[in-house]
Every structure is written in structure tokens, then in C-alpha cells.
Amino acid sequence: MQIQQNISLKQLNTFGIDVSAKYFSTFNNSDDLSELIALNSQLTTFILGGGSNILFTKNFDGIVLKNEIKGIELIKEDAQYIYVKAGAGENWHQFVLYTLQRNWQGLENLSLIPGNVGASPMQNIGAYGVEIKDLFYELEAFHLKEKKVFTFSVNDCGFGYRESVFKNKLKEQFVILNVTYCLNKIPKFNTSYGAIEEELNSMGVTELSAKKISLAVINIRSSKLPDPAKIGNAGSFFKNPSVTSAKFNDLKTEFPLIVGYKNPDNSVKLAAGWMIEQCGWKGFRKGDAGCHAQQALVLVNYGNAKGKEIYDLSEDILQSVQKKFGVKLEREVNLI
């Protein structure tokens, strides 16, 4: 456990923003975390995972603590389910592959999402019709002030669309140490998301399996999303906003091609990417900050963009969508 000073974070965030942390350390167990917190109690703390859902807008004047708690453990099983606990510092996709290799099913649709296990509950990561809340069992988290470990059940986490208590009510109060998922022994596949079935067909799959669905998802994601190793980005920059059905009807009259999906509560979720595209941002570039040419929802750093330039672009996009559609977009990416 070594505290470093003035460390560049460029390689530690997928946007590739070149900022520095005044102090930096890693930890791989809760005792080290506790000690680091006690030693640096006067400093602002930031917990870093894989850095794939953050935008640094300036140098960080406190201590960045990178969670490197490892380990995957089978906790218990019954005829239907497997309970598997993973350290917060495990890479998410490697964890998904680990479960699939053992024929533990459920996480296949969430293949290839960047980042670490510890951040997966933060915004209830989701893709292709599945969210982690569907398979979540419990997590353990360290309370920074009380210096105690608490266990959170699914109800304690307040999961919603790209939301949890850790992103709002309990923001910056807890460090997630490990997460336990409840996976299926008996298949319950979800291929209803259009592109998966299409991809499975083109792969010539006749008999479904979790591994084949995972492969289909990997193929789709690799062809559609910019690879952060090549172009800096943090995936979808904005959330898809929901509006009342009355507002949706008004929008539909004015913009007949507007894309919306009904939520269970009758509100309608709009495709933010479509609205951004209609405002003319798709493929826009100013300096090294841009809006991706294939995915308008993804903001990119072509090389040396500053976090502030990406932020300013996101602000311009937000305002133009508000002006054209009367809909306020919300950022999905965490601003630091």
C-alpha cells in the first residue's frame, strides 16, 4: 500500500483525459482501504474502478483510491441457482466469461461492458434487455465515515434505470467491496432485443445457449460501439429520458419519426441518440472533442481533448435537445 503523488490518470479513464491526481493509491482488501481512509481523512476521496463511466473535468486535488479487490467465490447453490461472489476489482467482462465457462447463466446479455464488478451496481448496468438488478443477490460495502461494512439486499439498493442509492441518496458514502450474483442453472434466455436474434440467425445458431448469446452480444457491441482502446469514450454519455404519454403524443404529432418505448408505469422512454442526431450533432467534431459518427449518444475524445471540452459539448447538446424537443437530457457519465 503505497501512496503516490501527482499521478497522471490518462491511462486510468477510458475517455483518456489527461488529468492528474494529487495522491493515488490502490487497495486490495477492506483493511487496507480502512487504513488509507484513516491516514488521509483530511483529503477528498475518489473511488476508482475501471474508469469507464467518468469524465474528469480537472485535476483531482484529493486522493484517488483504485479498488483492486480480487477473487471469485461460489457461495452456495441449490437445484436452480448458483450464488457467486466477486471482488469489486474483478474485471466485469472476465467475470461474465468465468460464469459462462461454468454454465452459470444470466449475465450473457451483459457481456463486454467495460469496467469492474464493484461499479456494476452503481448504475445498475444494463444492456440488451437485462439489468444487473435481475440477477443481483447482495453486496458488501464499506461506510467511509462509520468505518463499518454493511450488507445491501436488492431492496436496499434502490435500483432503477441506470440508478441506485449509491449514485444518489448515498452518493460517495460507501465503497463497494464485493457483489454476489444469483445465476441460473436452468436457462432463462432473453433474446427479445431485436439485434440479438438477428445476430444469432446470421451466426447460424439453431440451439440457444448462454455462451452463444454472449458471443452474439460481443459481435454486436464490437461492430457498433467505439473501442475505448482506439477512441476515448465512456459509452452512452446521456440516459434515455422518459416523458409522460401525453408529452409523447405531442412530440409524435410534431416529429412523427420520434422513437419511444412504453415503460411499465405508462410513461414513454425516448431514444436520446435519435434526438441528438436530429439536432445535427452526429459526427460533429470540435478540436478533439466529438459526437461519434455512428452512435450520437457516445461522446468521444479523438486524442487530446480536455475534460472541460467534452463537458462543454455535452452542455451544448443538452441545450439544443431541450430547445427542439422540450426534453431535458440527463448525463449518465459521472462528472468529476
Which positions lie near ligand FAD, rule CB under 6 A?
A: 14, 46-54, 67, 88, 113-116, 118-120, 122-123, 125-127, 175-176, 225, 228, 233-235, 334
Which residues does 146 contact at the CB level (< 8 Å), separation at least 6? Answer: none
Of residues 162, 164, 221, 309, which has the active-site annotation? 162
Best CA proximity match to 270, nearest among 286, 249, 295, 294: 249
Give me the least distance between CB of 209 and ligand FAD, in Å please: 21
Q: Indicate the residue among 122 and 321 with the shorter CB distance to ligand FAD.
A: 122
Catalytic residue among 52, 214, 236, 242: 236
CB closer to ligand FAD out of 106 and 228 = 228
Closest to ligand FAD by CB, 70 vs 252, is 70
Question: How buried is residue 29: exposed, middle or buried, by Cβ count under 10 Å (0-12/13-18/19+)?
Answer: middle
CB of 78 to ligand FAD, least distance (A): 28
**Does 162 participate in catalysis according to the annotation?**
yes
Active site residue 172: no
Minimal distance in Å, beta carbon 94 to ligand FAD?
12
Residue placing its CB nearer to ligand FAD in the complex, 274 or 325 = 274
| Element (DSSP H or E) covering residue 199 | helix 194-202
How far apart are CB 304 and ligand FAD at their closest, in Å? 18
b/e map 169-196, b = 16+ CB within 10 Å:
ebeeebbbbbbbbbbbeeeebebeeebb
The least distance separating ligand FAD from the CB of residue 166, rounded to whole angstroms, comes to 6
Which amino acid is located at 17 in the chain?
I
Is 260 in contact with 271 (CB distance < 8 Å)? yes
In whole angstroms, what is the distance from residue 131 CA to residue 314 CA? Answer: 25
Residue number, 309 or 332, with CB nearest to ligand FAD: 332
Distance of CA 253 to the CA centre of its chain: 34
Give, as one character, the DSSP assignment of residue 11: G
Residue 196 CA: distances (Å) to CA of 153, 247, 290: 31, 31, 28
User: Is 41 noted as a catalytic residue in this protein?
Assistant: no
Integer-rounded Cα Rg, in Å, for the chain is 20
Nearer to ligand FAD, 81 or 159 (CB): 159
Closest CB 282 distance from ligand FAD, rounded Å: 17
Tell me whether residue 128 or residue 281 sits nearer to ligand FAD (CB atom). 128
All 3 cell numbers of residue 332? Answer: 449518465
Q: What would the DSSP string read from start to end of 52-70?
A: -SEE--S-EEEEEEEE---
- Minimum CB separation of residue 2 from ligand FAD in Å reads 20
Write the CA distances from 146 to 9, 149, 174, integer angstroms.
29, 9, 10
Tell me the catalytic residues. 162, 236, 332
